[in-house]
Structure formats: C-alpha cells, structure tokens
C-alpha cells in the first residue's frame, strides 16, 4: 500500500506562536488519523518548536530548503546537518518558487537531493512546467529533463523512499489547477519514467503527489487517480481546518 502523503508548505507565513497554535490544533484533529502521512513545512524560525510538539505523534516536519554544502560562507542558508540536529525528517527540494525566484536549476536540485539522502533526510522533490511550456505542449518533455537531471546519480533503493511532487507552475497560487485527469496523466508518465530508469519496485514504491491549488473540494477526486498519492498544499494549508479536510479526503492506494 502507498500511504497518502499530505504536506503543508507554509512558505513565508506564520510566526513561531502561530505555528505552535496551528500544530496544537492539528494534533487534536488528527489524533485518530492513521491512513495518511502528514507533513508540516514551517518557516525556519518555527522548525524547532514544531518538531518539539510533534515528536510523539505521526506528524513529520520538513524544511522548505537546504544548502548542499556542510558549512561555509553562505549567508542566509541552512545545512543538512543543522536540520538533522533539530529533528527535521524531510526537506523540500526544487520548489517552483525556488526555481523561478532564486534561480535553482536541475543541477542544484540534484546536489540538494543527494545531500539530503546522505544526511538521512527524506527529500520531497518538486518538478513541473511553466504556463509557456504547458501551452507549447512541452509539459512531458520538461518533466523528463527534470527527472533525468534532478535524479542523477542516485540508485533505485533511494528512489523507493522519495516523494516526488508534480506541481504545474501555472496552477500554483492562481486558483487554477490541472484537472484530475490531467494530473493523473502526468503522474502516470512520471511513474513510467521511474520504471524505465530504476525498475519496478522503485516505480511502485515512490510516492507521487500533486501540488497546485489543492483544496478540500478537489482532493478526493485528485487522489482517486491511480498514480496520485497525496498533495503538496500551499494556501489551503494555512488554515488548520481546511488542511485537515484535505487530509481526511485523501485515499489509500493499493499497489498490488
């Protein structure tokens, strides 16, 4: 079974106290949830507090970014060993906003991915095409390149434990989203490419999640798609009740 993964990416929102209040309420709401892997990605300032509040729960904590170097003169960056020390379990790599606004490339995504893996952090690797690429019919070509270059120099066992988030850039923060059928088609394509590059077990085990204007109203239909294993949630994750509705609406996948 592929357990659905629902990730709250808070981006540059929430103070430490706001993060604590959200996490406290989510713990109460989700205390009986066992069919979903819940992940919260707060801002750096709240990581320690949220980790402390969730250590005895099934809720995991992710960093929104990391640098691939162990340490050095990189003002404003954070290293994998710093995150590991705090108790973070996951790290988001290659989010479209990092690619668009901070000039991340498939090469730097790959460096961050490999650094995460060697430091026992579970990567959430983001891929997706722009509106221009989408309208030009280049979506799958872009996805193929991002998979090839972003996942370079890792092995099948590592891929088994990856979470890959397909986030069409044209659907992030716009209120638009790929239809369930569109999302399902791209996810099926990604799984096919994983099978070709890493084999059956890796392709079946790797969780593929969708990001892009995910809401309580569309999560069930999205996760009904055979290859959609959850969601990377932005705006709708800032409200705890909305986020919990998304968690509740996700579906378990039978991979037999």
Active site residue 134: no
Q: 184: closest CA among 223, 225, 216?
A: 225
Active site residue 187: no
Q: If residue 182 lies in a helix (H) or strand (E), which one and from where to where?
A: helix 180-198
Q: 67: closest CA among 81, 56, 54?
A: 81
**3-class DSSP state of 232:** strand
Q: Which of 95, 97, 129, 187 is catalytic?
A: 95
Q: Which two tokens stand for residue 131?
A: 């509106």
Q: Which two tokens stand for residue 236?
A: 């709708």
Contact call for residues 123 and 162 (beta carbons, < 8 A): yes
Q: Which two tokens stand for residue 212?
A: 């892009």
Residues with a catalytic annotation lie at 95, 167
């Amino acid at each position: 079974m592929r357990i659905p993964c629902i990730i709250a990416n808070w981006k540059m929102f929430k103070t430490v106290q706001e993060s604590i209040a959200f996490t406290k309420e989510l713990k109460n709401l989700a205390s009986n949830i066992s069919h979903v892997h819940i992940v919260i990605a707060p801002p750096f300032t709240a990581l320690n507090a949220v980790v402390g509040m969730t250590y005895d729960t099934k809720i995991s904590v992710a960093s929104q970014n990391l640098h691939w170097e162990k340490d050095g003169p990189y003002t404003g960056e954070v290293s994998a060993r710093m995150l590991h020390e705090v108790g973070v379990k996951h790290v988001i790599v290659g989010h479209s906003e990092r690619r668009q606004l901070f000039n991340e490339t498939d090469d730097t995504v790959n460096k961050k991915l490999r650094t995460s893996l060697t430091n026992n952090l579970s990567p959430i690797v983001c891929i997706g095409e722009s509106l221009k690429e989408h309208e030009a019919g280049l979506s799958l070509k872009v996805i193929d390149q991002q998979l090839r270059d972003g996942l370079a120099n890792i092995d099948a066992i590592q891929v088994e434990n990856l979470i890959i988030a397909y986030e069409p850039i044209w659907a992030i923060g716009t209120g638009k989203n790929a239809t369930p059928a569109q999302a399902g088609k791209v996810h099926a394509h990604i799984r096919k490419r994983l099978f070709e590059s890493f084999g059956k077990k890796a392709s079946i085990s790797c969780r593929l999640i969708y990001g892009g204007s995910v809401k309580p109203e569309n999560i069930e239909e999205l996760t009904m798609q055979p290859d959609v294993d959850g969601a990377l949630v932005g705006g709708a994750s800032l409200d705890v009740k909305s986020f919990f509705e998304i968690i509740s609406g996700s579906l378990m996948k039978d991979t037999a």
